[in-house]
Structure 1
C-alpha cells in the first residue's frame, strides 16, 4: 500500500521544502521503506528548460531526458533514487495535456473547467508510474496564497479525501522568525499561513517550523493550539551548518517518528551512521583547496547547485574542505582580472549558453593550460577549452562556435542529428528551443590508457547531457596532432564526449554533466580525481 505525503510551504519562499522532502525521504529510507519523490510546479512554462538560471536556478536533467526543477537534484542526492520524467510536472504541462484532450474531443463536448478536469489531470500525475513504493512524497512548489498554486492545492485536498488519513499526510513548512526589536520568536506568521491553508480545505497534520534558534515549549504549544495540532506535531527545523546535517537534525526532533505515528506504523529505528560520517568529514576535514568557478551566472549560486554539491562531494572523498571562488567570466575580458586565478588550486568552467562571457572562459582555460593548474571544463567549459587549444596550439586563429554566428573555423557547431538508442534524432536552426537539446543519459566509450579511463576504471560509461552544440569531429586529427587527446567518443565515434591534455597535471573537458550523478555517499569519480589533483597543486604553492 502506497502512502502519500504532501508538502506545502507558507509565509515566504525559499524555506527549503525540497531539502525537507529529501531529508524526510532519506529518513524513511533509513527505516527500511521504499520512497519516491515528486515536484509539482505551479508556473506556466512546460518545463524550466527555456528559463534563465536567474529566474529558476539550475535545470536538473534526468536519465530519461527530462528538464526538471533543481529540487529533484536534492531528492537524488539524499535518497539515491533516480528521478524520472514522471517525477516533475508544471502547470504548463498540465494545461497542455488538458487542452490537447479538449481538441481531440475527449471531453465529449463538455465544458472544460479547472474542477474537475485540471485537478483530475494533477491527481492522475501524482498517482501515475508507481510500482511498489511505500511512500510517495509530493512537494507543491510556491507558497500557500499564490494564485498559481490553487489548482494543485485543490487537487491534493481531493486526493487526501479519496485516500483517507491512513494513506495521506499533509505537511506544512512555515517560518517562525526572530524579531530583534521585540527580543522574541513570533508565531503569528505560522498561524496565518495555516489559516490560509485551511481556507482551501487542508488541515496540516504536521508543521515543520524553520527557525534560527530553539522554539520555547510555550511557543510550540501556542502554535499547536491555534493550528489544531498536538504539540508533538509541531517540529522545529533549526538552521544547520551543512545540509547533510538535516536528516540527523530532523530525526533528533522526532520528525520521522511523528510521520510513522500518523500512519500507525512502527518500523525499526533508522541507521544514520552514514550521515554522521559525512557531517564529520564536512566539519573537520584534514585539508583545504581553493577552486575558481568561472561562469556566467555566478551571482546566483542556485544556478550551479549540483555543481557546488559535487565539488563538496569530491572534498568529502578526499577529506578536504573545498572553498569556491565564484568568478564572473566577463571580468577577464578587461584589465588584469586574470590575476584572480593566481592562487587557486583548480579552475572549473561550467556549462552555459550564449556569447556573453565566452572569451573570459577561453582565457581561464588558457591560464590553466599554460600554468599547469588543474582544469575541469563541463559542457560549455569543454567547448571553450577546445576553442582555446585550436587557436593557440593547432594554429586555427579563427576557431569559434556557430552558437555565436557564422565563422571561418566552426570548431564547435550545432548538432543536426544524433542517435538515441536505435532512433535518429534530428534538429535544425528553426527548431523550438524548449526540449530540443541532446538530453538525458548517453553512453560514451573511453580510450584505453587515457586519464579518464583510469579515473572511471571502465571502458564504457553513461552520463547525462544537456546541450545543443558539439565539438566538430572533423577537427579531431588537427587538434590531436597539436596535443589535445579525444579520450571519449559516442559509441558511433561521431560525437566527441571527453578531451584531455596528456602531460598536464589534470586537464579534462567533458561534454556531459557529471555533477548530476554525484552523491554524498558516492562522489562522482571525476570530481574526486579533480579535487585530488587540486590538493596536490595546493602542496606545491
Structure 2
C-alpha cells in the first residue's frame, strides 16, 4: 500500500463467553498480513474501568505485560509482540478507565466549552480518536475489543467501531466475530445456537460480522460451517474454524490453510496477497515434535495460575523451538519448598528458574531453590526478584550475613542487600526523582533501559555485545554497598545501568545468572531472548 492511503481496520469482537482466544486470533491474522508485506499493528481496547492492569491482582488478571515505553498493559499485548516480532507502545492498549479519565480531564480544562458531557458523543469520540491514533502510519490496524458482546461496559466500544465503519465506508473496515461452538457431550453434537444468538446481539446494535471464527474442541464439518454461514449471514468462505491445538503458534498456519486472507483481501481491497510462513512452520514443527527434552524447575508462588507467568513460559517455548527441544516445566510452589524436601524436589531437574514477583510470600522457598542450584552446580536463572534473592542467599550463606534481607520484607534489616531508592533514570537518559508515598501504581521503574555488559563475562558471551536494552518492572534495587564483598567471593556484577546493578553471575559455575530486568518481555518465537536461550543451552548440557 502507498503511504498516502488511509489505514484500514479489522475489528475483532468476541461472543458467548470470554477467554476464547481473541488475542491469539487477532495476532495470528496480523502475522499473516505482516508476512504478506503489509505494515500491521494491533490495539487492545479493554472495557474494564481500571486505568491499566498495573494494580490488578494476578489472580484477577494474569500477567501484566510491560512495553518498551513503560506502559503496563493487558497480557494480550505480549501475544501481539511475540507474533508480530515488533515492539508496541502505550498507544496499543487502553481501558474504559483511561478513556473516562481523559474526558473528565478535558472537561475540567474547559475543552468542551461548558457542554454537557455524555457517553455519546464524548466518550465514544475519545475511543475513536485513540483507535485512529494507534492506526497512524500502518496499512492495517487490528482492533481487539475486550470482553464479550452483551457486556454493559463494552457498549461504548462497540458503538465506536460501528460509527467508524459508517464514517470510513467500504473497503476500509471489516468486523470479525470470534465465538464458541460448544460440544454437548450428552447429545454428541457441536451446537451453533450460541453463535447465532451472539451474532443476533451484534446486529441489534448495528454491527454485522463479515467473518466468523469458530472456537471449538474439534474441527467442524462442512455442513456445520455452511449452517453457520447461512444463519449468521456471512459468505461460506468466511466461516473459519479455530479448534484446540497443541500450540498457539499453529493458529496462523491453521488460518492460512483455510485461505483466510482471500476474503480479508476482498473486503479491504488489498489485492493479491502472497505470504511466506515457511520459517514459522519450521519452528512450530520443533515446538510440536522436537527431538530433545529438558526439564526445568519453575519456582514461583502463582503456579496454580500459570497465566501470571505467560511471557516467561512462552519465552521458554521460543528457546526450546530454536534448540529443537521440548521444555518440560516442573511447577514448584515456592511456599512448599523447605530444607527438608529441597533435595527431593530438584533431584531430577536440569535447570532452575526463579521468576519475578512482589511480596514476601514464598520467599524462603525460593532462597532454598537458589541455594540448591548454587551448591549443586545446576544451571540457574533468576529474574527480577529471582536476582535479588540470589544476592540475599549469597549474603546469608557465603558472606555469613545472617540478617541479610530486602527492605521489601523487613524495613528494619541492618544488612539491606536490596533497598528502595528514590532516584531512577527515565527513558531519555535523564535523572528523574520519584517519590514513594504510595505502595501501589506509579512508583516503579518501568519499561526499557540500557544495560552495559562487562566484557569477559558469561552475560557478554551470551549477548555478544556491550550494550543491550531490556524491560523492567520493579521498585527495589540491589544495594551497591555490598558489591565489593560479593565480587571478592565470586559473585560478580556483569551488567549495570548508571550505577544500578542489572545482572550478576557466579564464577566457577556452569550457569548462574540473575538479571534485574525481564528478558521474557522481548522474547519472540523467531528471535528468542539471548539470556533465556543461554539458560536453556546450559540446562541441555546438564541433562542426565
What is the Cα deviation at residue 62 of structure 1? Answer: 0.7
Q: Please list, as runs of the form range in 1=range in 2, the aligned pairs for 1:515-526 lying within 5 A after superposition.
A: 515-526=520-531
Deviation at 1:431, TM superposition (A): 3.5
Aligned partner (choices 381, 384, 387) of residue 386 of structure 2 = 381
Q: CA deviation at 1:427?
A: 2.7
2:201 aligns with one of 190, 196, 200:
196
Q: Which moved more, 1:512-521 or 1:473-482?
A: 473-482
Over residues 142-176 of structure 1, what are the superposed CA-to-partner deviations in whole Å (9 max), with x where a residue is unaligned? 11111111111111111111111210000000011
CA distance in structure 2 between the partners assigned to 1:307 and 1:523 by the alignment = 11
Hey, which bits of structure 1, 4+ residues long, moved more than 6 A? none
8 A Cα contact 1:379 1:513, kept in partner: yes
Matched, 1:33 2:38: yes
Which residue pairs with 1:245 in the alignment? Answer: 250
1:403 to 404, 408, 419: 408
Contact 2:342 2:372 in 1 (8 A): no
TM-score by structure 2 length? Answer: 0.97
Q: TM-score normalized by structure 1?
A: 0.97
Residue 327 (1) aligns with residue 332 (2): yes
Q: Take 1:267 and 1:358, find their aligned partners in 2: how far apart are those partners?
A: 56
Do the aligned residues in 1 keep the contact of 2:283 with 2:322 (CA within 8 Å)? no
2:27–2:80: 8 Å Cα contact kept in structure 1?
A: yes
CA distance in 1, matches of 2:31, 2:333: 35
Per-residue CA deviation, residues 181-233 of structure 1 (Å, 9 max, x unaligned), is: 11111000100111111121111110001112222222222212221112211
Distance, in Å, in 2 between the alignment partners of 1:212 and 1:342 is 37
Q: Which aligned pairs between 1:132-531 and structure 2 lie closer than 5 A?
A: 132-333=137-338, 335-406=340-411, 407-420=413-426, 421-431=428-438, 433-490=440-497, 492=498, 494-531=499-536
| Greater shift in the superposed pair: 374-383 or 178-187 | 178-187
When residues 129 and 21 of structure 1 are mapped into structure 2, their CA distance, relative to the original with a 3 A threshold, is closer
Query: How far off is 1:296 after superposition?
Result: 1.4
Equivalents in 2 of 1:295, 1:21: separation in Å?
30
Superposed CA RMSD: 1.2
| Whole-angstrom distance in 2 between the partners of 1:507 and 1:334 | 20
Distance 1:269 1:129, change over 3 A: closer
Gaps of 5+ in 2: 1-5
1:8 aligns with 2:8: no
Q: What is the Cα deviation at residue 129 of structure 1?
A: 4.5
Per the TM alignment, residue 339 of structure 1 is displaced from its structure 2 partner at its CA by: 1.7
Deviations, residues 324-368 of structure 1 (Å, cap 9, x unaligned) = 111110001475255211111000001100011111111110010
Give yes or no for contact 2:284–2:321 (8 Å, CA) kept in 1. Answer: no
After superposition, what is the alpha-carbon deviation per residue over 1:283-317, rounded to whole angstroms, capped at 9, x for unaligned?
A: 22121000011011111111111100111111112
In 2: Cα distance, 1:107 partner to 1:332 partner: 58
* Structure 1 segments unaligned to the other structure (5+ residues): none
Question: SS state of the match for residue 337, structure 2?
Answer: helix
Q: 2:85 aligns with which of 72, 80, 86?
A: 80
Match of 1:67 in 2: 72
Secondary structure class of the residue paired with 1:128: helix
Secondary structure of the structure 2 residue equivalent to 1:458: coil
Does the 8 Å contact 2:238/2:263 carry over to 1?
yes
Cα separation, 1, equivalents of 2:133 and 2:262: 28
Q: Give the C-alpha shift of residue 415 in structure 1.
A: 2.5
Alpha-carbon distance in structure 1 between the residues aligned to 2:197 and 2:331: 38
Cα distance in 2 for residues equivalent to 1:326 and 1:256 = 39
Residue 86 of structure 1 contacts residue 129 of structure 1 at CA under 8 Å; is this kept in 2?
Answer: yes
* CA–CA distance in structure 1, aligned partners of residues 44 and 395 of structure 2: 43
In the TM superposition, what is the alpha-carbon distance from 1:106 to its structure 2 partner? 1.3
How many residues are paired up? Answer: 537
Deviation of the 1:265 alpha carbon:
2.8
CA contact (8 A) 1:31 1:267 kept: no
Q: Structure 1: how far apart are the matches of 2:527 and 2:98? A: 33
Deviation at 1:532, TM superposition (A): 0.7
* Cα offset, 1:240, TM superposition: 1.4
Higher mean C-alpha deviation, range 280-289 or range 354-363: 280-289
2:3 matched to which residue of 1? none
- In the other structure, the counterpart of 1:43 is 48
The worse-fitting range, judged by mean Cα deviation, of 314-323 and 208-217 is: 208-217
- Equivalent residue of 1:404, what SS? coil
